[in-house]
Structure 1
Amino acid sequence: MDLSNSNEKVIHGVYMPRGYLELIPNPKDNEVNHIRATCFNNDIVLMPELSTFRVLPWAERTARVICDTFTVTGEPLLTSPRYIAKRQLSQLQDYGFSLLSAFIYDFCIFGVPEIINSKTISFPASTLLDNHDQPFMQELVDGLYHTGANVESFSSSTRPGQMEICFLPEFGISAADNAFTLRSGVKEVARKYNYIASFFIETGFCNSGILSHSLWDLAGKENMFCSGCGNEQLTITGRKWLAGLLKHSAALSCLMAPAVSCRKRYSKESKDLKESVPTTWGYNDNSCAFNIKCHGEKGTRIENKLGSATANPYLVLAATVAAGLDGLQSSDGVLACPEDSTDLYQSKPSEIPLKLEDALVALEEDQCLREALGETFIRYFVAMKKYELENEETDAERNKFLEYFI
């Protein structure tokens, strides 16, 4: 590409058919017909955000730049997860807060697959990376550092071949950008080593995607979740934020565990056949859906553990902010006693649906998240998920053999 052509794309963007980014599951489906009115056949414009330009050390003569999506008339694409996340962060700023956050991801590394026949892929029994002295992991972490995504730690996880990466927290949209970079980078580096990387959930274990976050003032000087006086309990602001997460946990779970297999992790501790499980929270308790960590130099922070590694990080960020903001403004979740109690009283106990169908209903009925994420996006998301549920059997067979990776 010559320089003049590059300059033109930087200024005017890159045009492409809208269908490359948005799918139409079934043109005859009534759930999708009203979405078709948003002109799927039109072009959209990718406008590069030049501050995200980074040379990729694991690919020759290749750089990464993250783009925002617009219609040809200059309006933001309402189904763009990154736009939705940036809009929620802007709302948060309007209320005088900023968000410091980081994602913690599990993913799996497999050896070279063996092709048994044209339809079946089988993996060797033993997966790789039983320790973190592998050249693959070192190249991945070094590469992420050069893209601006600073890794705080990486380690083997709960089974051979499963790795965990934790990023250093950053303000604003950068946390989701880092997660997005990891999801593509880990697969590209793995390919160099003839490995296969997957964030997909297999039956029996979980690749989690945790969002660790805390609320700060606009200057980024004061953590609003802790008093700074040696008191490890959540502040009133923190408790209200947590109340919002609890209140919207059913709808949140739909966006954070967006596939049937993802939701099996919610019932792994339960032996009873139930339709939902209680939303749990606690201090320094990794078994809870919302774990309030009160140790370390980062100060008090909340880990949103509803997510799987297959969830879109921009949607996780956006929905968490929307739910937390509602908690700050709402009187549904109140404190028993600001001085010495950590109890949160809600008009209705929080429950997480175990079935994706029920979670979709919860998302559709959650007026706060509908408004925050946008009616256009919610309708599109629900329509796509209903289509996936209708085709669950064939998709499940494909997913089991990792023919495509999420």
Structure 2
Amino acid sequence: DIRDEGNETKASRMSKLRNTRKEVTKLHSFSTEIGEVDIANSKEDDKDSKDQTIVIKPLPIKTSVNAPGDEFHPNSNYTDNTGNSTQIPTAPQLSSRMKHIKQEMAKNHLQFVRFEATDLHGVSRSKSIPAHFFQEKVIHGVYMPRGYLELIPNPKDNEVDHIRATCFNSDIVLMPELSTFRVLPWAERTARVICDTFTVTGEPLLTSPRHIAKRQLSRLQDSGFSLFSAFIYDFCTFGVPEIINSKTISLPASALLNDHDQPFIQELVDGLYHTGANVESFSSSTRPGQMEICFLPEFGISSADNAFTFRTAVKEVARKYNYITSFFIETGFCNSGILSHSLWDVDGKKNMFCSSSGMEQLTTTGKKWLAGLLKHSAALSCLMAPAASCRKRYFKESKDLKESVPTTWAYNDNSCAFNIKCHGEKGTRIENKLGSATANPYLVLAATVAAGLDGLQRNDCVLAAPEDGTDLHQPKFSEIPLKLEDALMALEEDQCLRQALGETFIRYFVAMKKYELESEETDAERNKFL
């Protein structure tokens, strides 16, 4: 079975990682809110900690948060710029990371650590553990029901993949990527760590969006490139719901750039900064209570990690100010979610979209990458606008009843699906504007890379020269379906994305979306604030 190819190797890698962590964690003790706990002599296989020798030294209660300059950079660990997750960290690398985490836990007197993973919607699903158990969980992981992440009620046998000994109702294991350990400024004495997900037999969960994104970034690295990207999100802020005439109504908050509401956005931006997610700018958008937030670009998986962090942070900070945030507009439309990206050499020194002649045009490499995005735009739209309401924005200006709309691109035209920007200090970049803010950022990144790589690897995917117009020489642009049902069909029929993202993932994703369409859950009020 192609889907299981290499799983035994990956399982052995996870076993090796666990063994390395066992050896390294013996060297370190952890500090918690009640004192310094030395569990260096604990038995490796004794989860009940009966034989642990615990020494507690009282510590004063005082909290502080370090700036990113005082923390490890997200790309400085064993996961390189491309997000390659196949490399096993050495004992010295892990030892350095664990030493840093120990210092952070002592300095901030942490009580809890969240082990977070993304579900298929891009929503954070987490388990929080007392801080003094963190060391044990680094070795063994945290267990969570598989259905929490895959979100398919009563799955049919022909729609899901029962991976070996595991099934939909089994547990999966959250294994923390230690470089993502961050103290959360908006949560009292709490840190989080982003996790990769595995089956109980040690194989990567093939439906994991973060695993899929890492795999595509690894393919990109093998081709001699790296991705430099950032997300741009719109979101809406509502007041606390009020009951009016027996109906629950949430009124849009006022524009957030006045003196009264400035603390909310300031705390959000400052908090994101301290978690390593650097905000380049924020502003009021076109509607009451609507905001736009732009992140600084980063290499590899970090841009998706930053977007994932933001999606949780904006909700938690808003609650402190009696606001509710949503990626839906009050009219039922979805806010936009743009992936701005450029292709660089594998060392991250040269932008492969920038012309050496100084002309504000895409290079041949850039044109081939764009051609791949255009070719797969129908399937891409399914992952980037994954709800019926998200697709309204594709035809909101059109009065004609159509089944699809053309995929458009241009230089410096914000109305196009793919907007090529050549100005500014960032250099030439492509804004993929197919997406909504409700899309899973890891899937957006993975699908964009898969489509772009296909364009690079195919000789027939070359855009005509600028003076010859914007048509492709041979292949035809795929049009963007307006109905989610048609987009799902396009995804199922796109052999390139099926192979890149995996048959298992495609089956789960399509089954989930069909269930939502049948049960009308996609736009249900209870999902409005996810």
Q: Aligning the two structures, in what range does the TM-score lie when normalised by the shorter sequence?
A: over 0.9
List aligned pairs for 1:100-249, cutoff 5 A: 100-116=228-244, 120-124=247-251, 126-131=252-257, 134-203=262-331, 205-249=333-377
Confirm whether residue 353 of structure 1 aligns to residue 477 of structure 2: no
Matched residue, 1:379: 507
**One-letter amino acid of the structure 1 residue matched with residue 277 of structure 2:** A
Please tell me whether the aligned partners of residues 338 and 435 of structure 2 are also in contact (alpha carbons under 8 angstroms).
yes
Q: Helix, strand or coil: the match of 2:150? A: coil
Confirm whether residue 312 of structure 1 aligns to residue 436 of structure 2: no
- More deviation, 301-310/2-11: 2-11
Equivalent position to 2:170, from 42, 47, 50: 42
Confirm whether residue 85 of structure 1 aligns to residue 209 of structure 2: no
**One-letter amino acid of the structure 2 residue matched with residue 345 of structure 1:** H
Matched residue, 1:61: 189
List aligned pairs for 1:390-401, cutoff 5 A: 390-392=518-520, 396=523, 398-399=524-525
Please tell me whether the aligned partners of residues 233 and 338 of structure 2 are also in contact (alpha carbons under 8 angstroms).
yes
Consecutive unaligned residues in structure 2, runs of 5 or more: 1-31, 40-132
* 1:8-37 per-position Cα deviation (integer Å, ceiling 9, x unaligned): 11122112221222223234x465355587
Matched residue, 1:32: 159
Please tell me whether the aligned partners of residues 31 and 383 of structure 1 are also in contact (alpha carbons under 8 angstroms).
no
Between the two proteins, what is the percent identity of the paired residues?
82
Please tell me whether the aligned partners of residues 113 and 121 of structure 1 are also in contact (alpha carbons under 8 angstroms).
yes
* Aligned mates of 1:192, 1:201 — CA distance in 2: 21
* Aligned mates of 1:3, 1:278 — CA distance in 2: 63
TM-score (norm 2): 0.72
Residue 301 of structure 1, CA deviation: 0.1
Distance 1:132 1:330, change over 3 A: farther
Equivalent position to 1:12, from 136, 140, 164: 140
* 1:94-121 per-position Cα deviation (integer Å, ceiling 9, x unaligned): 0000000000000000111103477x41
* Aligned mates of 1:382, 1:333 — CA distance in 2: 28
* Aligned mates of 2:140, 2:232 — CA distance in 1: 35
- More deviation, 37-46/126-135: 126-135
Confirm whether residue 405 of structure 1 aligns to residue 529 of structure 2: yes
Residue 332 of structure 1, CA deviation: 3.2
Q: Helix, strand or coil: the match of 2:143? A: strand
* Aligned mates of 2:337, 2:234 — CA distance in 1: 7
* Aligned mates of 1:132, 1:100 — CA distance in 2: 34
* 1:295-326 per-position Cα deviation (integer Å, ceiling 9, x unaligned): 00100000000000000000000000000000
**One-letter amino acid of the structure 2 residue matched with residue 234 of structure 1:** L
Distance 1:132 1:94, change over 3 A: farther
* Aligned mates of 1:289, 1:32 — CA distance in 2: 32
Distance 1:308 1:202, change over 3 A: farther
Please tell me whether the aligned partners of residues 360 and 422 of structure 2 are also in contact (alpha carbons under 8 angstroms).
yes
**One-letter amino acid of the structure 2 residue matched with residue 51 of structure 1:** S
* Aligned mates of 1:362, 1:66 — CA distance in 2: 32
Please tell me whether the aligned partners of residues 152 and 511 of structure 2 are also in contact (alpha carbons under 8 angstroms).
no
- More deviation, 276-285/71-80: 71-80
Confirm whether residue 301 of structure 1 aligns to residue 429 of structure 2: yes
Matched residue, 2:404: 276
Consecutive unaligned residues in structure 1, runs of 5 or more: none
Distance 1:218 1:349, change over 3 A: closer
TM-score (norm 1): 0.93
* Aligned mates of 1:333, 1:240 — CA distance in 2: 6
**One-letter amino acid of the structure 2 residue matched with residue 253 of structure 1:** S
**One-letter amino acid of the structure 1 residue matched with residue 529 of structure 2:** F
Please tell me whether the aligned partners of residues 26 and 32 of structure 1 are also in contact (alpha carbons under 8 angstroms).
no
* 1:29-67 per-position Cα deviation (integer Å, ceiling 9, x unaligned): 465355587511222110111101110111111111100
- More deviation, 30-39/96-105: 30-39
* Aligned mates of 1:86, 1:201 — CA distance in 2: 31
Aligned length: 399
State the structure with bigger RCO (CA 8 A, min sep 6), 1 or 2.
Answer: 1
Residue 205 of structure 1, CA deviation: 4.7
Which entry has the higher C-alpha Rg, 1 or 2?
A: 2
**One-letter amino acid of the structure 1 residue matched with residue 338 of structure 2:** I
Please tell me whether the aligned partners of residues 239 and 344 of structure 1 are also in contact (alpha carbons under 8 angstroms).
no
Distance 1:339 1:106, change over 3 A: closer
Please tell me whether the aligned partners of residues 337 and 438 of structure 2 are also in contact (alpha carbons under 8 angstroms).
yes
* 1:57-94 per-position Cα deviation (integer Å, ceiling 9, x unaligned): 11111111100001122211000000000000000000
* 1:335-362 per-position Cα deviation (integer Å, ceiling 9, x unaligned): 4359987653342232000000000000
Please tell me whether the aligned partners of residues 35 and 379 of structure 1 are also in contact (alpha carbons under 8 angstroms).
no
List aligned pairs for 1:279-294, cutoff 5 A: 279-294=407-422
